[in-house]
Structure 1
Amino acid sequence: MTGAVVTGLGIVSPTGLGTREYWSAAVEGRSAIRAITRFDADRYPARLAGEITGFVAEDHLPGRLIPQTDRMTRLALVAADWALDDAGIDPSQHAAFDMGVVTASTSGGFEFGQNELRKLWSQGGQYVSAYQSFAWFYAVNSGQISIRHGMKGPSGVVVSDHAGGLDALAHTRRLIRKGTPVIVSGGVDAALCPWGWVAQLASERLSTSDDPAGAYLPFDASAAGHVPGEGGAILLVEDAASARRRGVPGYGVIAGYGASFDPRPETGREPGLRHAIDTALRDARVTAEQIDVVFADAAGLPALDRVEADALAAVFGPGGVPVTAPKTATGRLGSGAAPLDLAGALLALRHGVIPPTVHVRPDPAYRIDLVTGAAREVPLRTALVLARGYGGFNSAVVVRAAEPI
């Protein structure tokens, strides 16, 4: 076993808090898409979301952190705690500069920012929290996790919309290769507040359907946008030698990565997703035939779904590999979507089960083998995870099952 090994998972998902709950819901095809309750969305054109329920931050975090953070960062801190526990790592037993934090963010602490701006406009500047100086910022999750656990090694934040989670994990892999033994990575977003909602509506990619089973339908003839959600996954990524010394096989290895950027549509040039896939396969030193499952980006818009389906058909052949998009049950979670998909891919490799894509009746014109209806049990060794961000970001990561110690 060599390379960057994922030894711990911390999952906060609309379909379940914790790895066991999330995976059970994913395999069973349980959906969390429903009407928004976190604010009054009646006046907005989109009114559905994947919300996390049952999360009480005070049950998991010290009181001093509550006024410094909003829902996004609280979820990220708890997910990081769970990832460390899952990996069996006590940060106090490691040198501070041997541990780093690299996360992704799509919106930062929008909820915190909105609340403080309300105070500014209605009460005056003296009522704005001093924590506003960092709590709204894209890097706040990385900062708060590093402070909580005394992690002073190479750290940072990646901002490339929904592709950011994979980009953060790829940067983590680079840092592992350069000598940092332990890095907390992934992404958690939570922008289900009026300010965050308006920002997402501006993309013109949100579904306006009020039917939870018919709002987010990638690769379906009725596709008309996606449903947003909150949450994601934080992963503990470890140097293989470090994991081996601890006798931990881990969930799997981050084996390959590729990224590209789409040209402007008016140029007439080809989209870049296929290039990202090809690059990831070459980096992992695997052929298309060795990929057992693809976790799709699944934009839910016909033009973008066509680009993804065509790229998959070009690389693997029409229907040449099973494809799944568990995010139809959670919504698209911003920068948290791809890390959650990667965690799902690692769990699929471990259990030999491909979770289904709920709600969708695949259009045969897309020429992909989309797993729907029920989970598919099949031997799995290697998976490809795809993510795309608004504006043209494309990322692809290959993960391989862990080898026995």
Structure 2
Amino acid sequence: MTVAVTGLGVTAPTGMGHRAYWAATLRGDSALRRITHFDPAPYPAKVAGEISGFAAEEHLPGRLLPQTDRMTRLALVAADWAFADAGIEPAELPEYAGGVITASHSGGFEFGQNELRALWSRGGEYVSAYQSFAWFYAVNSGQISIRNGLRGPSSVVVSDQAGGLDALAHARRQIRKGTGLVISGAVDASICPWGWVAQLAGGDLSTVPDPHRAYLPFDPAACGHVPGEGGALLVLEDVGHAERRGAPHIYGYLAGHAATLDPAPWTGGGSALGRAISAALRDAGVTPADIDVVFADAAGTPERDRAEAAAITEIFGAGAVPVTAPKTMTGRLYSGAAPLDLVAALLSIRDSVIPPTVGVEPAAEYGLDLVTSARPATVGAALVLARGTGGFNSAVVVLGPDHRH
């Protein structure tokens, strides 16, 4: 069964809505800045990709604001935009025809931090009852489902940065089982002191204060990543369902997926990313020569960049396929990063252009054809990669609308 992408909902540091995001991406506009959500002076890392100018009350009913974290507000807006782009009124769907499958990296950290502050400064009676679910990693799926009356198969996936692709793959499985439509992807937002300390504990955040030099994947100066907030939600449909209802457009097809887990570090085994790539290509029924661009995970540390480059060159050959990482403009959005890359991949196919990896001077040792300025190219098939802390690897192949899969 062919699974089509019919709607895009984007909330990104570089632009709200897929049109604004895509225009900024092709221009090479970076949103990495010194943090403004809180004073970063006491912390070793001070740069992030923040969404600015977002006023939730302009998009959502007031009753939702006291019970939602910033992450969930962004996700609800992304879902609204994805449905509008797909030409769908969720209320008009049959009761069990639509589902929601999202991924989460950390849940509603900012909401949790505020309630913990109330607990220790004022007492338990001042803690919001909404704390019982607003922090929860499954809350985006739940709130999107309730707001839109979607009672079909719904769930949440937690596999760190790989989770966004894994959620889309799970949505694809549910559609193949008979669900007509699933909204899927991920939105994360945890740029608050509590969330920041948790991220610092991982040891991979860049401490370079210059936003232009802080996140440089595949560069000799790579020294860690910069976090960001946001992500993307996509409407996925059985292609027959989309055609019967007269979907205004089909961006492309979710043609292949595979996930692997790296062996434990003490075993001496290497990265299993290459196996995920090969399996995703097989699932899509394509060969390495069919792939026109790879959207890299781009961890930004020498060890992890080296492992990813080795997997790509092993499958495709040195310099044989263009590689890009537009997340250098947004920061790594955790579970939201790869769905946003998948949106960029679909728009690359539509507009025949590969978006850039900004600010990077590629290290020759990696053997990658890294795209550092927007490059016109015929793109019919793209590979999107994501890796999460703990050894998670995920790979998705998307095909353009001219490739009925």
TM-score bracket for this pair, using the shorter chain length: over 0.9
Structure 2: how far apart are the matches of 1:359 and 1:323?
15
Q: Provide the residue aligned with 1:282 in structure 2.
A: 282
Superposed, 1:200-215 pairs within 5 Å as: 200-215=199-214
Structure 2: how far apart are the matches of 1:94 and 1:404?
28
The question of 1:122 aligning with 2:121 is answered yes
Provide the alpha-carbon RMSD of the alignment: 0.9
Structure 2: how far apart are the matches of 1:196 and 1:233?
20
Q: Provide the residue aligned with 2:3 in structure 1.
A: 4
Kindly provide the amino acid, as one letter, of the partner of residue 166 in structure 1: L
Superposed, 1:62-77 pairs within 5 Å as: 62-77=61-76
Structure 2: how far apart are the matches of 1:176 and 1:402?
18
TM-score, normalising length: structure 1? 0.98
Deviation at 1:228, TM superposition (A): 0.3
Kindly provide the amino acid, as one letter, of the partner of residue 63 in structure 1: G
Superposed, 1:6-405 pairs within 5 Å as: 6-248=5-247, 249-372=249-372, 374-403=373-402
Q: Any idea what SS the aligned residue of 2:234 has?
A: strand
Kindly provide the amino acid, as one letter, of the partner of residue 254 in structure 1: L
Could you list the per-position Cα deviations for residues 64-122 of structure 1 after superposition, in whole angstroms to 9, with x for gaps in the alignment? 00001011000000000000000000111111211100000000000010101111111
Structure 2: how far apart are the matches of 1:164 and 1:354?
24
Kindly provide the amino acid, as one letter, of the partner of residue 258 in structure 1: A
Deviation at 1:129, TM superposition (A): 0.6
Structure 1: how far apart are the matches of 2:245 and 2:95?
18
Structure 1: how far apart are the matches of 2:136 and 2:43?
26
Q: Any idea what SS the aligned residue of 1:323 has?
A: strand
Gaps of 5+ in 1: none
Deviation at 1:244, TM superposition (A): 1.2
Structure 2: how far apart are the matches of 1:124 and 1:184?
39
Kindly provide the amino acid, as one letter, of the partner of residue 118 in structure 2: K
Q: Any idea what SS the aligned residue of 2:338 has?
A: helix
Deviation at 1:221, TM superposition (A): 0.3
Kindly provide the amino acid, as one letter, of the partner of residue 118 in structure 1: R
Could you list the per-position Cα deviations for residues 160-206 of structure 1 after superposition, in whole angstroms to 9, with x for gaps in the alignment? 00000000000000000000101110000000000100111011000
Q: Any idea what SS the aligned residue of 2:282 has?
A: helix
Kindly provide the amino acid, as one letter, of the partner of residue 336 in structure 2: G
Structure 2: how far apart are the matches of 1:224 and 1:391?
19
Q: Any idea what SS the aligned residue of 1:157 has?
A: strand
Could you list the per-position Cα deviations for residues 6-38 of structure 1 after superposition, in whole angstroms to 9, with x for gaps in the alignment? 100000000000111100011111000000000
Could you list the per-position Cα deviations for residues 260-295 of structure 1 after superposition, in whole angstroms to 9, with x for gaps in the alignment? 001122212221000000010000000000000000
CA distance 1:404–1:321, shift in 2 (3 Å): closer
Kindly provide the amino acid, as one letter, of the partner of residue 15 in structure 2: G
Q: Any idea what SS the aligned residue of 1:220 has?
A: coil
Kindly provide the amino acid, as one letter, of the partner of residue 400 in structure 1: L
Q: Any idea what SS the aligned residue of 2:161 has?
A: coil
Structure 1: how far apart are the matches of 2:128 and 2:2?
43
Q: Any idea what SS the aligned residue of 1:244 has?
A: helix
Structure 1: how far apart are the matches of 2:187 and 2:91?
24
Q: How many residues align?
A: 403
**Shift >6 Å, 4+ stretches:** none
Which one is further off, 56-65 or 266-275? 266-275
Q: Any idea what SS the aligned residue of 2:96 has?
A: helix
Structure 2: how far apart are the matches of 1:228 and 1:77?
21
Structure 1: how far apart are the matches of 2:92 and 2:238?
16
Deviation at 1:404, TM superposition (A): 8.8
Structure 2: how far apart are the matches of 1:198 and 1:239?
42
Structure 1: how far apart are the matches of 2:18 and 2:66?
27
Deviation at 1:393, TM superposition (A): 0.3
Q: Any idea what SS the aligned residue of 1:327 has?
A: helix
Gaps of 5+ in 2: none
Q: Any idea what SS the aligned residue of 2:72 has?
A: helix
Kindly provide the amino acid, as one letter, of the partner of residue 174 in structure 2: L
